[in-house]
Chains A and B, each alone.
Chain A
Amino acid sequence: MNYSDGVLRNDEKAIYALRELYGRFGYMLYKVNKFEEYDLYAHNKNFLVSDKVLAFTDTNGKLMALKPDVTLSIIKNIAYEDNTINKLCYNENVYRTSDGDGFKEIMQTGLECVGNVDMYNECEVIMLAAKSLETISNEYILDLSHMGFTDGLLDKAGVDLSQREEILKLIESKNVSVLKAYLNKIGMTEEYCENLCKLVEMYMPLGEALKVIEGCVSGEKMRAAYEELSLIAEMMVTYGVSDKIYLDLSVVNDLNYYDGITFKGFINGIPASVLSGGRYDRLLRKFRKNVGAIGFAVYLDRLERFNVQERKYNVDVLLVYDENADVKKISEAVKKLNDEGKSVLTSVSDVTSVSYKQLVRI
């Protein structure tokens, strides 16, 4: 069924276009329950975007929650066997707070790839993230980083856990001046500070960026991350999206859950990221599942105000008829206008709160 322009909202269009895109690569639509046991979130608070969960007791007195996240529900439930892979996509409402002004229902769509995730699957997911953004707009950017690379950089400095957290926060906000001061304070060498700050400030397409960071690579962790990024860069060229993929170390995710590639997607005209994801093998280990996992979510609510044609009228025609008018005649008039492609609201009075382009009386 085709719809004329202006019928579907951005998010509605995106839902179907994305489901089709994911389906082409074998991602099956997966439906989860609206409610989850509260415990699931209590145990994995840091994995959530916000730690506030809308909880209630069910008819048996059990503490339940309206799900703030889909990923946890999916990985909790899927069965896996050695050497198999689960490719699932979803669109679900999640319930989150935003800036302390109460809970909001947010439509989210995304995909998860869990199991024996090899480099092909990883590249496919990153390509699908890029293509997801492309379905929304051609002016998009996918920022990529590798937590293993960042982690390796910090290993080199020998910083402890609390310092690491502080440093990651500064990296996330590209706060180079404070980062420099902080590293000096904890006794890092001038050379190390300069190098790290340069990396944090850097923002360029992945291919170019790899040439720049090559010189900084040392240690096994960073070497492995570098090679992974290089392969991704190559694959993105074959997928034809390489000019949209940027390396940006400020894409930081919680090290307790994420340990590999992490990424965030932006659309020109939307002030915050609309896509977020990465490799989260460590979360699966917490569920005693020793397999790989990568996935992402698209925040459809952020498309609400993107590129919308502001309509000045609710309807094209207000058809005013008199109370004694013949019913048949009214319906004929409506049909005629409809056939001309106009929307019609009928009323016995022209006093209305609805705005219209044209007034017709019969």
Chain B
Amino acid sequence: MKQMINIALPKGRLGEKAYGILEAAGFECPSIKEESRKLIFENEEKGVRYFWVKPSDVVIYVERGAADIGIAGKDIILEYSPNIYELADLGIGKCRMAVAAKKDFYDRRDRTLRVATKFPNIARDFYNKQSREIDIIKLNGSIELAPILGLSDVIVDIVETGKTLYENNLEPKQDIVQISARLVANKASYKFKNKEIKEICEKVQNIIG
């Protein structure tokens, strides 16, 4: 008997693109495109069950086994370092994690650096490697405001085109890591639903080439 695979998709544009890949790979679920208040979408014939969750929650659903597999940004994986398998790079949602600051920012090494970010673990890890003392200011949005108002010296954030930065007299100073969407899997599910998960993984890889 084919086992149902629970798939956590991140809400938003990235998740829709990711679903597009899964659909093209033969794991479609037409009901997902209908307007409705349903939370879970199932295609029994294909053995898949989809649900939308907040992007940063995907790895939690997967790590705890509520989802067998999921689509998560590398930024989220690095920030939470969950104990999961990272099976494929989907090559979508490409951007980078970078340090940004005001264009005229001069990095003085004689004092603690104030860093505003949504990703405290990534920022801490990055500056730890440089033996740098920093003061992390955890924000939940509008990170770009922080250096403008003098709340922080720099920010650590996702940069796609850099347009928002440049329009606000900021610029990326240093890249930390390249980001893209990854297909992740729960470790126990990978064992007990190995055939199904491998099939999805292979077919998805054929689509992304």
Query: Could you tell me which A residues sit within 8 Å of B by CB distance?
Result: 139, 141, 143, 173-178, 203, 246, 250, 266-268, 270-273
Contacts and interface: CB of A to CB of B under 8 A. Distances in A.
Nearest to B68: A271
B194 interface: yes
Contacts, number: 51
Interface string B166-209: 00000000000000000000111111101000100000000000
A126 to B, nearest CB: 17
A197 to B, nearest CB: 12
A299 to B, nearest CB: 13
Contacts of B189: 271
Interface stretch (B11-19, B42-50, B79-87, B147-155): B79-87
Given A173-B84, A177-B88, A266-B187, A271 B63 contact: yes
B188 A271 contact: yes
Contact of A174 (B63, B87, B186): B87
Contacts of B66: 271
A17 to B, nearest CB: 22
B86 A175 contact: yes
Given A266-B187, A271-B186, A273-B187, A174 B192 contact: no
Contacts of B84: 173
B88 A271 contact: no
Contacts of A178: 86, 89
Interface string B69-108: 0000000000000011111110000000000000000000
Contacts of A246: 191
Contacts of A272: 63-65, 83, 187-188
30 contacts: A143-B191, A173-B86, A174-B85, A174-B86, A174-B190, A175-B85, A175-B86, A175-B87, A176-B87, A176-B88, A178-B86, A178-B89, A203-B191, A203-B194, A246-B191, A266-B187, A266-B188, A268-B188, A268-B192, A270-B188, A271-B63, A271-B64, A271-B65, A271-B66, A271-B186, A271-B189, A272-B64, A272-B188, A273-B187, A273-B188
A42 B191 CA distance: 35
Given A177-B89, A178-B89, 6 more contacts: A173-B84, A175-B86, A250-B85, A271-B63, A272-B64, A273-B188
Contacts of B194: 203
Interface residues of B, number: 20
A174 B89 CA distance: 12
B192 A266 contact: yes
Nearest to A264: B187
Contacts of B87: 174-176
A173 B183 CA distance: 12
The 9 residue pairs across chains A and B that have the minimum distance between CB atoms: A271-B65, A175-B86, A177-B89, A174-B85, A268-B192, A173-B86, A141-B191, A266-B188, A266-B191
Contacts of A176: 87-88
A159 to B, nearest CB: 19
Contacts of A175: 85-87
Interface in B39-67: 63-66
A266 B65 CA distance: 13
Contacts of A271: 63-66, 186-189
Contacts of A266: 187-188, 191-192
Contacts of A174: 85-87, 190
A250 B190 CA distance: 12
A168 to B, nearest CB: 14
Contacts of A143: 191
A141 B84 CA distance: 17
A271 B189 CA distance: 7
A282 B137 CA distance: 42
A272 B62 CA distance: 10
Contacts of B190: 174, 203
Contacts of B83: 272
Given A271-B64, A272-B65, A173 B186 contact: no
A203 B191 CA distance: 8
Nearest to B194: A203
B24 to A, nearest CB: 19
Contacts of B86: 173-175, 178
A141 B192 CA distance: 8
Contacts of A250: 85
